[in-house]
Amino acid sequence: MGISLSAADWNQWRGGDRNGVVRDNVALLTQLPADGPQQLWRSEMIPSNDDGGHGSLVVSNNRIYMGVVWHFDIPSEKREINELIVRKLGYRNLDDALAEKMEKARLELNPRFRGSQLDDWIEKWLKENLNKQQQDSIGSWIRGRFKKGRSAIAYGDLKKVSKKSGTIFENETALIKWIEAEGFEEFTASQIIKVIPASVRAAKDVVVCINGNNGETIWRTEAPGKPTGRKSSSTPCVVSGKVYAAGSTHAYCVDAVSGKSIWASELPSKGTASSFLVTDGKAIIMAGRLLALDADTGRELWRAEKLSATNSSPIVWNDNGKNRLIVSGRSSIVCLDPSSGRILWETQGGGESTPVVSGDWLVAYSRDSKIGLAAYKLSNNGAKRIWNHALNARRTQSSPVIYKSHVYFSGGENQMCVELVSGKVKWREKRQSTISSPLVADGKFIVMEKKGSELVMLEASPKAHQEVTRARVKSMWCPSPVISGGKLYLRKADHIACYRLSPEVVVP
């Protein structure tokens, strides 16, 4: 299946070439107002996070497309314990030994400790009992529990509630009966009742199309869905006049002009953050297992049962004229035959980030901190790791960019430029940029910092970490920015915003 794109199209996850590089050659401003670039429009309400996920948007033919699992609450006598309730109560999954050690320390903590004395005690405990990765991932949560002291809900009680996630009680009386049977303390019982609303969660799978000139909704196609929370964070793909999107339990193909439904196909698992790749007549996505659907009919063609992951998206590598699929699994990078899903080879690495390929070079960010950012030389019988830079990080979802024989990376609180062939670090800085994937446009390396609150432009140059300009944009911190035709598109908490980012915005 061919892909007909204009240079300004950002029609899929990471752009037209699926590599994070904007190819329309539109000049961008080199000085932005500190309070943000000029806003051209904002869309109607589109929920995010627990109500609509963290998926990014795409642009094709001056239309913006998004796939959203749109959550809402239905008033009800029933009472529901779900993932959102468990998180509101403050549960985090710990191994039993660490949980016991933490709770013993919390209960024995001197109640007279205050201010800096308490802070010093907490930091000492964290350093003595957690490794670096644990400090990054759960340190702040444990710190909060210690500061609450005996007023924190017992960890064992939180775990009991977490095991009931997905349970719906017929009414409040039934909920209270369960609470009493579990023997929760009065304080814990009151907190559980307080956070459980008089409603149940529901959801619908939505594909929305927005006018790129004014932000008005052109069409919205809906289908019944199931609540999957922020796990559903997929980015759609627009190819040959069709939109391919992943919902809560099904994949959808709709007409890009009219929004008319073409087909729907059930996914192997609920809620995915992987994004569709459409190639060789197949729509391919990771949804618990790597899955290939017929792009015209939605019929399942194959399923790679031995390959599993959640967030990473597949890419195409051209192996001497033959298309190959490459995807990050949970613990390895895997190459497959797209015609059959047969695994051709795999190598160490893997994780939640999407790899990037340039010729026979592959660069990937691994969840294995000992591997970190790594480059591989590809061949038809395997991948040889040429270099890697170990990176400790709590978040490992950001994807790298290859631009002019250098790798640019922004994620896990690191910003780096590495020479592709040698692996030599040209520069490296500690910055607050964690999940959102960066891009390169007009020779600028563009990243989101401070949990999406600031857009930063750097020179895409190996000479130095040189900042061009920055502006406050108050974006979400997980979805990635999109630049097309001199316009910047950002996903906010409850809408899409479009900004002017060039001296002259290109009008298609």
Q: How far apart are CA 123 and CA 196, in angstroms?
A: 33
Range of the domain at 178: 79-197
Q: How far apart are CA 243 and CA 264, in angstroms?
A: 12
Classify residue 100: in a domain, yes or no: yes
Classify residue 429: in a domain, yes or no: no
Cβ of 480: how many Cβ atoms within 10 Å? 28
CB 336 within 8 A of CB 324: yes
User: Token digits for 74?
Assistant: 């239905």
Q: How far apart are CA 152 and CA 161, in angstroms?
A: 15
DSSP label at 231?
G
Classify residue 184: in a domain, yes or no: yes
| Size of the chain in residues | 508
Q: Tell me, what's the pLDDT at 6?
A: 66
User: Token digits for 365?
Assistant: 């960010």
Tell me the pLDDT of the chain (508 aa) as tens digits: 334 456 679 999 999 999 999 999 899 999 998 888 999 999 999 999 999 999 999 999 999 999 999 999 999 999 999 999 999 999 999 999 999 999 999 999 988 898 999 999 999 999 999 988 788 889 999 999 999 999 999 999 999 999 999 999 999 999 999 999 999 999 999 999 999 999 999 999 999 999 999 999 999 999 999 999 999 999 999 999 999 999 999 999 999 999 999 999 999 999 999 999 999 999 999 999 999 999 999 999 999 988 887 789 999 999 999 999 999 998 899 999 999 999 999 999 999 999 999 999 999 999 898 999 999 999 988 999 999 999 987 778 899 999 999 999 998 889 999 999 999 999 999 998 878 999 999 999 999 999 899 999 999 999 999 999 999 999 998 999 999 999 999 999 999 999 999 987 655 5
> Per the structure, how many domains does the chain have?
1
Q: Tell me, what's the pLDDT at 4?
A: 45
Half-sphere exposure of 492 (CA within 13 A, CB side): 16
Sheet holding 58-60, edge to edge: 58-60, 63-75, 199-211, 217-225
First to last CA, the chain: 25
Pick from 332, 376, 325: nearest CA to 351: 332
Q: What is this structure's pTM?
A: 0.92
Q: Tell me, what's the pLDDT at 135?
A: 86
| Cα-based distances in Å from 100 to 160, 164, 314, 497 | 15, 21, 40, 46
Q: Tell me, what's the pLDDT at 424?
A: 98
Classify residue 175: in a domain, yes or no: yes
3-state secondary structure of 136: helix
Q: Tell me, what's the pLDDT at 393?
A: 72
| Cα-based distances in Å from 47 to 50, 125, 430 | 8, 39, 32
Classify residue 402: in a domain, yes or no: no
Q: Tell me, what's the pLDDT at 324?
A: 97
Classify residue 170: in a domain, yes or no: yes
- Strands 217-225, 237-239: pairing is unpaired
Q: How far apart are CA 121 and CA 125, in angstroms?
A: 6
Return the biggest CA–CA distance within the chain: 71
Contacts of 424 (CB under 8 A, 6+ apart): 418
Contacts of 361 (CB under 8 A, 6+ apart): 375, 376, 377, 378, 402, 420
Q: How far apart are CA 313 and CA 355, in angstroms?
A: 8
Classify residue 127: in a domain, yes or no: yes
Classify residue 139: in a domain, yes or no: yes
CB 64 within 8 A of CB 212: yes
CB 424 within 8 A of CB 416: no
Q: Tell me, what's the pLDDT at 5?
A: 55
